Amino acid sequence: MPSTLVEKYFRTEKLPQIWCPGCGHGIITRSIASAIDQSGLDKDKVCIVSGIGCSSRAPGYMDFNTLHTTHGRALAFATGIKLANPEIKVIVITGDGDATAIGGNHLIHACRRNIGITTIVYNNNIYGMTGGQYSPTTPKGDKGTTAPFGNIDKSFDICSLASAAGATYTARATAYHANLLTTLVKNALANDGFSLVEAVSACPTYYGRKNKKGNAVEMMEWQKNNAVNVAAASKMTQEQLEGKFLIGEFKNKPEPEYTSEYQKIIDKLAKGR
């Protein structure tokens, strides 16, 4: 029998996952289950929705109400689910490509509406499933199948993007910082409005191999050595922060949630009848 956590929240007959050895996606998925457990949510009152990609395969292994949708559209499906069932905790699992390329429009508008959806973006800086094409989060200069000489695009900072678009909770952790990730997902779940947690993953098969980042262990060591907590960063100089990236909570500013605002209109009109 697997661990209590895995036994309770996973479709164990479907394990192990299809992911490559050392893929960060498995670590992130476990952290999400752990956060749901710590939040004391009823499994039947949780719905996990995903798009298409290696990351989007996660809900298939998770023992909740789950929905595997089309590429980039998880948030559109999730919006429908939340509007029809406001009492349900709706969680979206998506990849950097799924969320910020094909699904970028859905993302900014879900943020803007502040609809009660907790989105976890598994950011591996590449399109894993289709063979390593660059994504909107591939760092400038890095390689992908579609950028054999280096990517010339600037990359998105997903958390800043979501904060600016109106998400009321944004945070980032990594597969290495899996305990922090659990805490942040738990905090995100506690926010009634739109929350986004960027989970920095590791794709040793494509991003790692194409960019000589080493194996899964070396990629996680990189996360360990280059992540700086926002709290610590405020006391560091620009020089010390060179080449580092931030983890931790960036925004936690609750505002009225979309489905409850919508309900207010319904109540008001019902009274006038």
Ligand X SMILES: Cc1ncc(C[n+]2csc(CCOP(=O)(O)OP(=O)(O)O)c2C)c(N)n1
Interface with other proteins by CB under 8 A: which residues?
Answer: 1-6, 8, 10, 15-17, 19-27, 30, 37, 175-176, 178-179, 215-217, 220-221
Q: Does 194 bind ligand X (CB under 6 A)?
A: no
Q: Does 155 bind ligand X (CB under 6 A)?
A: no
Q: Is 175 helix (H, G, I), strand (E, B) or coil?
A: coil
CA 144 – CA 128 distance, rounded (Å): 10
Residue 197 binding: pick among ligand X, other proteins, ligand SF4, none (C-beta 5-8 Å cut-off by kind) = none
Q: Does 135 bind ligand X (CB under 6 A)?
A: yes
CA 186 – CA 158 distance, rounded (Å): 19
We find the least distance from the C-beta atom of residue 266 to ligand X, in angstroms, to be 34
Residue 5 binding: pick among ligand X, other proteins, ligand SF4, none (C-beta 5-8 Å cut-off by kind) = other proteins
Angle subtended by helix axes 216-226 and 24-38, to nearest 10: 60
Phi/psi zone of residue 125: left (φ > 0), alpha (ψ -120 to 50 degrees), beta? left
Closest CA to 91 of 112, 113, 110, 70: 110
We find the least distance from the C-beta atom of residue 206 to ligand SF4, in angstroms, to be 5
For residue 185, CA distances in Å to 28, 115, 188, 190, 272 come to 10, 16, 5, 9, 41
CA 95 – CA 270 distance, rounded (Å): 41
Identify the residue whose tokens are 């899964």. Answer: 216
Q: Does 25 bind ligand SF4 (CB under 6 A)?
A: yes
Residue 205 binding: pick among ligand SF4, other proteins, ligand X, none (C-beta 5-8 Å cut-off by kind) = ligand SF4
The whole-angstrom distance between residue 112's C-alpha and the CA centroid of its chain comes to: 17
Q: Does 97 bind ligand X (CB under 6 A)?
A: yes
**Stretch binding ligand X (CB under 6 A), from 96-104, 148-156, 175-183, 257-265:** 96-104
What are the helix (H) ranges across the chain?
Answer: 4-9, 24-38, 74-84, 96-97, 104-113, 158-165, 178-190, 209-210, 216-226, 230-233, 258-271
> Closest CB to ligand X among 26 and 95?
95
Among 6, 8, 12, 20, binds ligand SF4 (CB under 6 A): 20
Among 27, 32, 36, 52, binds ligand X (CB under 6 A): 52
Q: Does 128 bind ligand SF4 (CB under 6 A)?
A: yes
211 CB-near residues (< 8 Å, 6+ apart):
142, 143
Q: Which residues bind ligand SF4 (CB under 6 A)?
A: 19-20, 23, 25, 54, 124, 128-129, 203-206
Q: Which residues bind ligand X (CB under 6 A)?
A: 52-55, 71, 95-98, 122, 124, 126-130, 135
